[in-house]
Copies of this chain bind each other. A is one copy, B any other.
Amino acid sequence: MTVTADMLRSHPDAGKADPQALAACVDRCLECVQTCTTCADACLAEEMVAELRTCIRTDLDCADLCDATARVLSRPAGHGTRVVRDVLAACASACKACGDECERHAGRHEHCAVCAEACRRCERACRELLDSLG
């Protein structure tokens, strides 16, 4: 999804963040919105749904945080404020919680395995962007 990088490059005032790191983080967030939303629906469809309650909840929280984070980061002209740091921290926490929970079921459910990896990638991208903001 290099379209994100194209968009950020064409922005007349794209802030101070490195466009590549920013685009990578946005793309990881959008990917994680998707995997978490489908993982929740897939968990609901499993016979053992009662054992997957926590997984469904962390999926839903993570999807919402990643969604908000992708949107805030996609408005780079406003960056430099405390809001960006705080939303990245919240997103990393949600990805950590969901990655940990999905990992517990990764051996039995392929959707949890794929989702756990997406959460790890997104958490890492958020923390790297946070670090780069200094």
Interface residues in A1-26 by Cβ distance below 8 A to B read 1, 3-4, 6-8, 10-13, 26
A49-65 contacts to B (CB < 8 Å): 49-50, 53-54, 56-58, 60-61, 63-65
Residues of B within 8 A of A60 (CB): 40, 60, 71, 75
Copy count, this protein chain:
4
Q: Which residues of chain B are near A8, meaning CB under 8 Å? A: 38
CB pair B114 A34 closer than 8 Å = no
User: Is A130 interfacial (CB 8 A cutoff)?
Assistant: no
Closest to A115 in B: B7
Query: Number of A interface residues, CB 8 Å?
Result: 64
| B77:A41 contact, CB within 8 angstroms | yes
**In the complex, which residue of chain B has the Cβ closest to the Cβ of A23?**
B34
Alpha-carbon distance between A53 and B64 when the two chains are bound, in angstroms: 20
Which residues on A are within 8 Å of B, measured CB to CB? 1, 3-4, 6-8, 10-13, 26-27, 30-31, 33-35, 37-42, 44-46, 49-50, 53-54, 56-58, 60-61, 63-65, 67-68, 70-72, 74-78, 81-83, 86-87, 89-90, 93-94, 97, 109-111, 114-115, 118
